[in-house]
Structure 1
Amino acid sequence: MRSMAFAAPLFMLAYGVLRWIDGLDGHRKGGPAWDLGHLAFLASMVTFVLLAVALYRRATLGKPTAVVAASVAVFGSGCMIWVILGDLSSSFADRWPLPDALQTAGPIAFVLGMIGLLSLQVAAGRLPVWSPMLFFVGYTAISINLDLLPLAAALLLGALAPLGRPAARGATPARRAGSTSRTA
């Protein structure tokens, strides 16, 4: 889980930087930076799917809630992956267009599912309470302006970094009763 918690935002950071580079000539799309950036974004979303499944498996509290949250996150990621594949291949986009409603619902579902999974980790005492909030702020930055992708990636990295701590990987609420990152 540690590597996924770091890799997903770092792939997103690469996408943001490559998107900036692609726009230096005044337009976007059609160049190597565009393609590489979208491949990095694809890798980010696939890694987020794997992270959602890992967070579901790790959930000790609210297993039914974890199933719903993971399903929503994976569904949202799937919608985003579909759009990315369409950006990379116009023939894919023409042949299998994603309905507009799913293009809107996908990112929202992804964020809500991930926040749900991270909140279950907070409830179990494995993550600080600010982690899901920071994840939300990071993803909100993307919805404000895609040029904020590098900032958003840094915020997502900050939100997920506690998953990489040794205490976060195997801690239980009883073992971390004195921890400042556990909510009362």
Structure 2
Amino acid sequence: MIPFMSFRFSLVAAPLLILAYGVLRVLDGLDGSRGPGLAWTAGHLAFMAALVLFVQIFWRLRAMAGRDVLSTASAAVGTVGVVTLLGQFGVDIVVGFAAADHAAMTPLFEQVRSVPGMQPVLYDVGPYLFYLAQLALVGQLAAMRRVRAWLPVLVLAYLALPIADKDLMPLGAVFLLVAFLPFIRAARPAASLS
């Protein structure tokens, strides 16, 4: 069983790492292009660290929802989404290291996307599983009245803001952190636990 403190750490660290990615992404774009470089790589590594933490978050939310078929499917789908996003961000980092400048990144990305299956798995379908699982698990917990009804609204705002404008990702990460606050409080270890 995962210790309570570890779960609480993940609930705080994951949104903060997404916030770091969003801020670094904005900073990276100040010169008119994104990548390659330090901000590109550091931002991607921050998001990848958040993704790893989300595996634990998904499975703990599943436990909070009663480990039923729906929560298990949501956690499994979310984990698949994590794996695909790790693949996508891994490609981004490798391309960033391989390219001399931003213009040189485009043909490298085109090479990756031309590999059969890569476009749907790493870009078109796979990553969305990560986001859908977040909404599904929090939505299920709200439907079960284990969390307040406004939590899925915050998660939805966190998911929608980057779709509207990727530069809004830092604000979305703040919404996610606020959405996780009730889980953080609920995960506090009892005084009898060591």
Partner of 1:159: 179
Number of residues of Structure 1 aligned to a counterpart in Structure 2: 167
CA contact (8 A) 1:111 1:136 kept: no
- Measure the CA separation in 1 of the matches of 2:38 and 2:73: 38
CA contact (8 A) 1:73 1:110 kept: yes
Q: Which of 43, 60, 69 is equivalent to 2:49?
A: 43
- Measure the CA separation in 2 of the matches of 1:99 and 1:58: 34
Q: Map 1:96-175 onto structure 2 (within 5 A).
A: 99-102=118-121, 103-165=123-185, 168-169=186-187
Partner of 2:69: 64
Once the 2 structures are TM-superposed, how far is the Cα of residue 95 of structure 1 from its aligned partner? 6.7
- Measure the CA separation in 1 of the matches of 2:20 and 2:152: 22
- Which TM-score applies when normalising by structure 2? 0.77
CA contact (8 A) 1:118 1:132 kept: yes
**Which letter maps to 1:40?**
A
**Which letter maps to 1:169?**
A
Q: The residue matched to 1:30 in structure 2 has which SS? A: coil
Gapped runs of 5+ residues in structure 2?
1-6, 99-107, 189-194
Q: The residue matched to 2:125 in structure 1 has which SS? A: helix
CA contact (8 A) 1:126 1:169 kept: no
Q: The residue matched to 1:128 in structure 2 has which SS? A: coil
Question: Deviation per CA, 1:135-183, whole angstroms, max 9, x where unpaired?
Answer: 1111111122211111111111111121111xx338xxxxxxxxxxxxx
- Which TM-score applies when normalising by structure 1? 0.81
Once the 2 structures are TM-superposed, how far is the Cα of residue 119 of structure 1 from its aligned partner? 2.4
- Measure the CA separation in 2 of the matches of 1:169 and 1:128: 16
Question: Deviation per CA, 1:80-132, whole angstroms, max 9, x where unpaired?
Answer: 11110000013797579562223122232112211221123324443211112
Partner of 1:75: 80
**Which letter maps to 1:80?**
L
Name the stretch that deviates more: 103-112 or 92-101: 92-101
Once the 2 structures are TM-superposed, how far is the Cα of residue 7 of structure 1 from its aligned partner? 0.9
Partner of 2:8: 2
CA contact (8 A) 2:112 2:118 kept: no
- Measure the CA separation in 1 of the matches of 2:36 and 2:79: 28
Question: Deviation per CA, 1:57-82, whole angstroms, max 9, x where unpaired?
Answer: 3332x611111110111111221111
**Which letter maps to 1:74?**
T
Percent identity among equivalent residues?
34
**Which letter maps to 1:6?**
V
**Which letter maps to 1:150?**
P
- Measure the CA separation in 2 of the matches of 1:33 and 1:86: 16
Once the 2 structures are TM-superposed, how far is the Cα of residue 41 of structure 1 from its aligned partner? 0.8
**Which letter maps to 2:142?**
V
- Superposition RMSD in Å: 2.2
Once the 2 structures are TM-superposed, how far is the Cα of residue 48 of structure 1 from its aligned partner? 1.3
